[in-house]
Structure 1
Amino acid sequence: MKPPPFEYHAPRDLGEALRTLAEVRGKVLAGGQSLIPMLNMRLVAPEHLVDINRIESLSALDASPAGVRVGALVRHSEAERSGAHPLLARALRLVAHPVIRNRGTVVGSLVHADPAAELPAVLAVLGGTVQVARWSGEAAVREVAAREFFVGPMESAVQPGELAVSAFFPATGPRTGVTFEEVARRHGDYALAGVCAVVTLDPGGDAHIAAARVACVGVGPVPVVVDVGEACAGRAPDWGGAARAVQEKTEPEGDIHASAAYRRHLVGVLAERALRNAAREGAAAGGV
């Protein structure tokens, strides 16, 4: 299989990249782990390909007490090894295989907006943001919240002429546990269903649950985020009730790998497991 013909651009800085994107309608090449197969299978046929791999400023990974900002050229493997964010690192271990993670980019995965992928769910459950830039006489940057960034299956809020330059994953804070649970036919395959959870215990030092959120993959057109803090509040959380609340929010579809009913059942099991494990982690570690 060969890609369709295209004109290749290799800008050396962000301004040049944005000016190029303003002048031509094309696809951005970063890691290429999704784009190249799509080109080869003729699922996309852009007239222009803009390769941003020479733009050094997009390779930054900056951690602070507020969270971690990941540039558009930060590879999966780099973000995983950095340990800058515990939930991001756990999700990245589930992404495909090492050879893919060595080239694939965190921001590229977000822009690809695959509802079965792990990273969109992580950004969504944390309430993160994506910085998107375009050329308007100069570089103009807007910040897009995760709840608005994922528009539909394989569709993000990045418009023609724009470039996603970074993503911000907020820190989880003290007495907070995080987990990512999924089931796949084989390790590295797309998950039949997956759930990541963030659970915060009461800052007073007891075992009461103060807040709990989950995000699900593979059971809706975009990451499904559910706040289950009310069901989990107090010393005796209703984990089963929280799991049922998550199931009610999902819209799974059946395929050759699993029926819609099985996916809905699976997401309930995974939600309960993820919430219990996240609460246990928060209590044991005193924070993450």
Structure 2
Amino acid sequence: MSTPDKLINFAKRPKIAVHKFSSCDGCQLALINDAVSLLELATMVDIVHFAEAGPLDEFAEVDLAIIEGSVNTHHDVHRIEMVRAKAKYVLSVGACALTGGIQALRNFTDEKELRHWQHDVYPEETEVIIEGDLATAKPISAYVKVDFELPGCPINTGQILRAIRQILFGVEPEKNVDPVCTTCKHAGVTCVMVAKNEPCLGPVVADGCDAICPKLGRGCYGCYGPAKYANMDAMIAKLKEMGLSDEQIKHKFHHINSQAITFHGVVARTISQ
């Protein structure tokens, strides 16, 4: 990620496209849910493609392409390559686009086991795994260059609007580098690990949600991915001290951001010791 090096031409209104890949649409809804802000944004730019909101022109040339969702099929690969070729900048938003999201849990198993789960959940005639599926679910950056990333599950309206404005004016979108614990301390929130002996990933997860779970008396489970200075060894040691087994600890990190390198690689190394 770096500061924009290609200035956007404001002689004409910048063009923006919002694209969905495999996801729940939650990050797109962060834009739609605040209608006033979306209308304000529409006075600054031309939104040429946003299927969730109306306009359709998937492969139009744009200044900024905003991508939600992970890549799961061969068709997805073709689409993201076309989107990248038509966009001056690409902004990936949300856990699915950044780390594969919840659907990347399939990366830890094989097709036989997935089909077993499928028949436990869906009617027998339903085929979840179809021809054209890739063996794994991967983030957008696994296939094309991504200029900027915005973590979260989902992101919130303030985040996405600030990021768009910053990119349009040649500034790299701000990043949350502090852990969730920082917000808890500033807000006077009682630590759930201390008071309730409840596992909480707040010490190693990036803030961005305003510590919503600890404020409700429950442990953080990692929506915003790893914090910049996460001490994974200390976190895992603490979870073991609280009585969690290696398998339980692994599941704590193999969740929304399971493919984040800090969670996926470090946890595998540490737990195997």
Q: TM-score, normalised by structure 1?
A: 0.27
Larger RCO (CA within 8 A; separation ≥ 6): 2
Structure (1 or 2) with the greater strand fraction: 1
TM-score (norm: length of structure 2): 0.28
